[in-house]
Structure 1
């Protein structure tokens, strides 16, 4: 009578290593970047005549970190106004606020954490606009403005008792100035479309934080010494306003902005922002 041979445990190693490799290739330990700056949507006035008033309420959608599953996972609000004090000069004001949240490494309890951001900013500007063709359909405008802003970054671990770090916070203020030339096509019955080429210079203030200096200098953080030099960004924007009423007083806003760093040391910044909202022009003649 033949007896079955005992199963060799060594034969299990090959499939076990295959399973381990499969899971390790699916679950990565991701770097957690700290974003020092996120652009707000611009205020594109699109004024063309004296006493014209534009009031606008919008929501914004910003990108998350590259390791997040949702490309545009951060949201905000953007309120703005513009008024033409003459047939060629206008003034604007805007306020923006946003909440951002990036989650990292949910598959690793000891490393799972969230970095949350609260940002707010305000802007005022003045500028010049003029028609460049006889039919007054094509306009050039250029505005210069100033605004203060604030950032608050809060890092927290899901299971702080098992983590090697306890997270932290980083708060700072900033001031910005900008110049914003644009070319705008006005077709009241169809749409208004503009391309704005904004250049923004930002100067950060002294931060309040409980991060150690070595953490601030870390390659995934890069928040050390933000206040030591200004940062310049080029921020082109494509804007559409589609009339929702016969006289063009109510319009749907659609905008996309991209932010490119031009100067300053290498830090983490958001790059893209989308805007959707409504503009009302109660004093419009058309």
Structure 2
């Protein structure tokens, strides 16, 4: 009997995550370059993210990141298309830059540690509810906000001409502002409206660990990343959980390009 009870609770929690999301923040993929030497350049691209990084010395690097979230397919008004990974009504993104320190940890330079600190700005918009009325104006249900962010991201990883694997721990602090609510977004529900506005009361800190994996040969690799985003602030909303405002899981697939001299000398040093 207890098994059925806990199974029911689990199912309800999953449905809660997937059925009522009104995301106003989706974390961008972590840029994990794992550079090894001066003048090394690495870039990666996926459907929603563009990353670049360049080593200006043997230990100092800069990075620039961009994100744009959009809906690939039209939303079916008769079906809830929200899922664990993305609110299908969400649009927007962020632009950010950072400066970092990197250092190989062994003589063969196969293990690399790096840490980047930076900031950026962005905005997102979504709809407060799925509306099935053909005559409805989507702007009546609009939720929109802007935000600034600062972050620090330490990473450690294994780097090889064929395979790269890394773990990152990114801490991001976001300050939401300029919140906008459509006239029918929280119609007859002042509690939900107050909850949404409370998001901008103070900065929110997110812990965003990421697992990055690349496979290919030398300069071009297939890249995939699984990222989690956990708000650390202890907010007690009256009616909604924080996962209905903040996307908590991100999965990215794309390609990585690395221009470096160490590939040419790899076999010589073996």
> Aligned to 2:90, which of 117, 140, 154?
117
Question: Radius of gyration: which is bigger?
Answer: 1
What is the aligned partner in structure 1 of residue 196 from structure 2? 223
Deviations 1:208-239 (A, max 9, x none): 222477646328x9312322111111111011
User: Whose helix proportion is higher, 1 or 2?
Assistant: 2
Report the CA distance shift for 1:243/1:284 in structure 2 as closer, same or farther (over 3 A).
farther
What is the aligned partner in structure 1 of residue 155 from structure 2? 182
1 CA distance for matches of 2:155 and 2:134?
A: 49
1 CA distance for matches of 2:189 and 2:75?
A: 18
2 CA distance for matches of 1:239 and 1:51?
A: 23
Secondary structure of the structure 1 residue equivalent to 2:200 = helix
Structure 1 residue ranges, 4+ long, deviating more than 6 angstroms after superposition: 101-105
What is the aligned partner in structure 2 of residue 71 from structure 1? none
Whether 1:93 and 2:64 are equivalent positions in the alignment is yes
> Aligned to 1:79, which of 32, 50, 72?
50
- Please say if residues 66 and 96 of structure 2, whose CA atoms lie closer than 8 Å, have aligned partners that are also in contact: yes
TM-score, normalization by structure 2: 0.75
- Please say if residues 78 and 132 of structure 2, whose CA atoms lie closer than 8 Å, have aligned partners that are also in contact: no
Secondary structure of the structure 1 residue equivalent to 2:39 = coil
- Please say if residues 68 and 92 of structure 2, whose CA atoms lie closer than 8 Å, have aligned partners that are also in contact: yes
Whether 1:41 and 2:29 are equivalent positions in the alignment is yes
Whether 1:128 and 2:101 are equivalent positions in the alignment is yes
What is the aligned partner in structure 2 of residue 275 from structure 1? 252
- Please say if residues 79 and 96 of structure 1, whose CA atoms lie closer than 8 Å, have aligned partners that are also in contact: yes
2 CA distance for matches of 1:211 and 1:45?
A: 44
- Please say if residues 175 and 203 of structure 1, whose CA atoms lie closer than 8 Å, have aligned partners that are also in contact: yes
Report the CA distance shift for 1:37/1:202 in structure 2 as closer, same or farther (over 3 A).
same
What is the aligned partner in structure 2 of residue 149 from structure 1? 122
- Unaligned stretches of 5+ in structure 1? 1-27, 60-76, 108-113
TM-score, normalization by structure 1: 0.71
Whether 1:208 and 2:180 are equivalent positions in the alignment is yes
Deviations 1:94-149 (A, max 9, x none): 11111258768749xxxxxx971102111101110112222221111111110101
- Please say if residues 157 and 167 of structure 1, whose CA atoms lie closer than 8 Å, have aligned partners that are also in contact: no
What is the aligned partner in structure 2 of residue 251 from structure 1? 221
RMSD: 2.9
> Aligned to 1:158, which of 129, 132, 141?
132
Report the CA distance shift for 1:93/1:106 in structure 2 as closer, same or farther (over 3 A).
closer
User: Whose strand proportion is higher, 1 or 2?
Assistant: 1
Report the CA distance shift for 1:87/1:158 in structure 2 as closer, same or farther (over 3 A).
same
Whether 1:239 and 2:188 are equivalent positions in the alignment is no
2 CA distance for matches of 1:159 and 1:240?
A: 44
- Unaligned stretches of 5+ in structure 2? 1-14, 81-86, 264-270
Report the CA distance shift for 1:139/1:263 in structure 2 as closer, same or farther (over 3 A).
same
By how many angstroms is 1:171 displaced? Answer: 1.6
